[in-house]
Amino acid sequence: MNKQMLGIIDASPYTDELKPLTTHRTFSAIPIAGRYRLVDFMLSNLVNSGIYSVALFPKINSRSLLDHLGSGKQWDLARKRDGLFVFPPRADYPLDQSSIVSLLRYHIDYFLRSKQKYAVITNSCTICNIDFKDVLDHHIRSNAHITEVYHKEQSLHLYVLETALLIDLIHQESFHVKTLSEFLQSFSSKYSFSRYEHEGYTMVISDISSYFNSSMDMLNRPIWDQLFAKDRPVYTKAKDEPPTRYTKTAVVKNSMIANGCVIEGYVENCIIFRGVKIEKGAIVKNSIVMQKSCVGEKGLLNYVILDKDVKIERNIQLVGDIENPNVIPKGTVQGSLMNL
């Protein structure tokens, strides 16, 4: 039996609930876990499931995403046959008038040329480690037209169906939908759906709170081991950085520190990305500090998200809470006149 699958990542969704993290980047390119991007989880799931033809459909602010993906080499998708295909929005369609279905219809040749019998439709907002081979086996046994993945009775908006059926649906008339999930659900009265229940840690990123909570969850070793299983790794763009330097004044507790950092202060329950500097006397707790940011001497962060290239000057204190972390936009400077 032909059990080959092709992968489709709907990277088009956009929400104001993730601003300012999405001001300069698309949803799927949001940094997470010290050195990854959101898209890495689902892209790695597809590859770990033996899927080597993957189509990705971004919509806006996709420059950082395209730079991150490159040729797909890090995911073993730089191939002469199949591989990674990125289909940006049509240049002749205004973004507010183009739907994800019209984009799929415009690139229908990709699906017509595919030799895989089945298609896996995913998103880039779900963080989990799932084997789509198991989902496919369930789909075949169920004899349903479409299989939808659930976790604790909640849909994850991940689907398996035959490629021929997907092509047929793409050609059918449909209302203006924002996501592929909405598109498939519009046929729920016409086609049979089965449920596949996924176990293990799962988080759907929909706003700043869910992003922050999922990031903090990764400091829990059992959760980390589930997401970053040795036999099902999460791949990402490799960057060569020197080891992090810890001075004699550094104190680090229950934190994730990427390469290339300089830690001189106190860090607890934090995720620190590459190239970050925490100066002497600074206290950083329950926070996310993204690439090449700096926390100045005797500064204080608690429940804060610093985007890339943020500078917190000396003696500045920034405090949020677990439900509403304080988010500092990319490239900004918090100085004495901005003391919050």
Task: Give pLDDT tens digits for 159-198.
Answer: 999 999 999 999 886 657 778 898 999 899 999 999 999 9
Domain 5-227 part of CATH 3.90.550.10: yes
Sign of CA dihedral 173, 175, 179, 183: negative
What is the model's pTM? 0.93
- Residues 106-126 have a mean pLDDT of 94
| Beta strand residue intervals within 97-217, DSSP E | 118-123, 126-127, 146-151, 154-162, 193-197, 203-204
Q: Which pLDDT band holds residue 101 (cuts at 50, 70, 90)?
A: confident
Among candidate residues 125, 126, 57, the one with its CA nearest the CA of residue 89: 57
pLDDT for the residue 252:
98
**Domain residues of the chain, as ranges?**
5-227, 245-335
Report the relative pairing of strands 288-289 and 304-306 from DSSP bridges: parallel
With 80 as the cut, is the pLDDT of residue 91 above it? no
Residue 10 in contact with residue 57, Cβ under 8 Å?
yes
pLDDT for the residue 172:
84
Task: Give pLDDT tens digits for 9-29.
Answer: 998 777 788 999 998 898 899
Fold of 245-335: UDP N-Acetylglucosamine Acyltransferase; domain 1 (2.160.10)
Task: Give pLDDT tens digits for 209-250.
Answer: 999 999 999 999 999 999 999 999 999 998 888 999 999 999
C-alpha span between 228 and 124 (Å, rounded): 17
Average pLDDT, the chain: 92
pLDDT for the residue 339:
42
Q: Look at residue 200 and give its three-state secondary structure.
A: coil
